[in-house]
Copies of this chain bind each other. A is one copy, B any other.
Amino acid sequence: MRYVVKIAYDGTEYAGWQCQKNAVSVQEKLESALLSALGTCVKVTASGRTDAGVHAVGQVCHFDMESCSIPPEKMPDALNRFLPADVRVLEGKLAKETFDANRSAKRKTYRYALYDGERDMPLKDRFAVRVENIPATETLQKVARLLEGEHDYKAFCASGSAVKTTVRTVYEVRVEESKSYGGKDVYLYVTGNGFLYNMVRTMVGEILDLAWGKRTEESLRKAFETGNRSLLGKTMPAKGLTLMQVEYEE
């Protein structure tokens, strides 16, 4: 039986999704909860890795179990009692054997959270990044459009990742603003058919630089053409990033 679960996590205390030596990962916590709940080792596959410090409210994972000892709708209750408070199973269901949380994913949406206002705000610092003089939302939205479409995003990808192709389609970059205590919150929602390592965080740095006028449409075009990372702005910190949603074909 193939199970699919939707999970949420506060990534602050984790070295990312994927299991690794000498570091605590979300995958390890989930597999350990499955071991406690079922008494057997189960390997979990997620829609994709998230980096150290990145959060999720809609990560999707699948795993297989021989017998159905836990009904899928009981999966949240069964696993959450063995999970730490910063990792939660939200939903469980069954899927066809052909479903693969990673390979069947059609669209993913990430959110990057910025705020402008009082510095050192402990209530925001966990999930958002403080940036001074965030450009107006209309300006951000205008330059963000330049990063939409099908492009070779090689320049946006941290070196060292082995992927077949660095061409991806970004369907939308949407900018939302809301007033908040002592300043404003700005969210960038990025939806695409897939993302390279560090791609969203580099996109956000580039959007800020374009909006501030530190980089130009011309330098961005060259970055797409040449794949040269040094033509782009900085990679933004992990803690501002949250995986919001993974979409599959029905």
Contact = CB atoms under 8 A, between A and B. Distances in A.
Interface of A: 8-10, 55, 57, 76, 80, 85-90, 118-123, 125-127, 178, 181-182, 242, 244
Nearest to A119: B90
A21 to B, nearest CB: 25
22 contacts: A8-B118, A8-B120, A8-B122, A10-B123, A10-B126, A57-B121, A57-B123, A57-B181, A57-B182, A76-B119, A76-B120, A85-B122, A85-B125, A87-B122, A88-B120, A88-B121, A90-B120, A90-B121, A123-B127, A123-B242, A178-B178, A181-B244
A243 to B, nearest CB: 11
Task: Pick from A57, A122, A125, A181 the residue with the most CB of B within 10 Å.
Answer: A122
A87 B178 CA distance: 25
A122 B86 contact: yes
A158 B80 CA distance: 32
Nearest to A182: B57
Nearest to A6: B118
Contacts of A120: 8, 76, 80, 88-90
A88 to B, nearest CB: 4
Contacts of A10: 122-123, 126
A2 B90 CA distance: 51
Contacts of A9: 122
Nearest to A9: B122
A119 B85 CA distance: 12
A188 to B, nearest CB: 15
A125 B87 CA distance: 11
Contacts of A242: 123
Contacts of A8: 118, 120-123
A9 B124 CA distance: 10
Given A178-B178, A181-B244, A123 B55 contact: yes
Given A55-B122, A57-B181, A126-B126, 13 more contacts: A8-B118, A8-B123, A9-B122, A10-B122, A57-B118, A57-B121, A57-B123, A87-B122, A88-B121, A88-B122, A90-B119, A90-B120, A178-B178
A125 B9 CA distance: 11
